[in-house]
Amino acid sequence: MNLQHFKYAVEVEKTGSISQAAENLYMNQPNLSKAIKDLEHSLGITLFHRTSRGVTPTAEGKEFLEYARNILAQVEKMQAHFSGQNQNVHTLRLSIPRSSYIAEAFTAFVGSLDPQKGMDITFVEVGTLQAIRNILEEKHHLAIIRYQSMYESYFLRFLEDQGLAWEEFWEFESLVLMSQHHPLTACPQLDAQQLQPYVEIVHDDHSIPNFPTQEAQIPSRRIYVQDRGSQMDLLTRVPVTYMWVSPMPRDLLERNGLVQRKCAAHNMTQKDVLVYPKGNLPQLAQQFIEKLKEAKAQVEATPVF
CATH architecture of the domain covering 3-84: Orthogonal Bundle (1.10)
Per-residue pLDDT of the chain (305 residues), as tens digits, is 678 889 899 999 989 999 888 887 778 888 899 999 999 999 999 999 988 888 999 999 999 999 998 888 787 767 655 554 456 889 999 999 989 999 999 999 999 999 888 899 999 998 898 899 899 888 899 999 999 999 999 999 999 888 899 999 999 999 999 999 999 998 989 999 999 999 999 876 544 444 444 444 444 689 988 777 788 899 999 999 999 999 999 999 999 999 999 998 877 899 999 999 987 688 899 999 999 999 999 999 988 87
Q: What is the DSSP letter of 180?
A: T
* Cβ burial 105-122 (10 Å sphere, 16+ → b, else e): bbebbbeeeeeeeeeebe
What are the φ/ψ torsions at residue 91 (nearest 5 degrees)? -120, 125
| Start-end of CATH 3.40.190.10 domains in the chain | 90-171+270-300, 173-267
What is the topology classification, in CATH, of domain 90-171+270-300? D-Maltodextrin-Binding Protein; domain 2 (3.40.190)
3-state SS, one letter per residue, for 29-95 = HHHHHHHHHHHHHHHCCCCEEEECCEEEECHHHHHHHHHHHHHHHHHHHHHHHHHHHCCCEEEEEEE
What are the φ/ψ torsions at residue 147 (nearest 5 degrees)? -150, 160
Model's pTM, two decimal places?
0.68
Domain 173-267: which CATH number of 3.40.50.2020, 3.10.28.10, 3.40.50.300, 3.40.190.10: 3.40.190.10
| Start-end of CATH 1.10.10.10 domains in the chain | 3-84
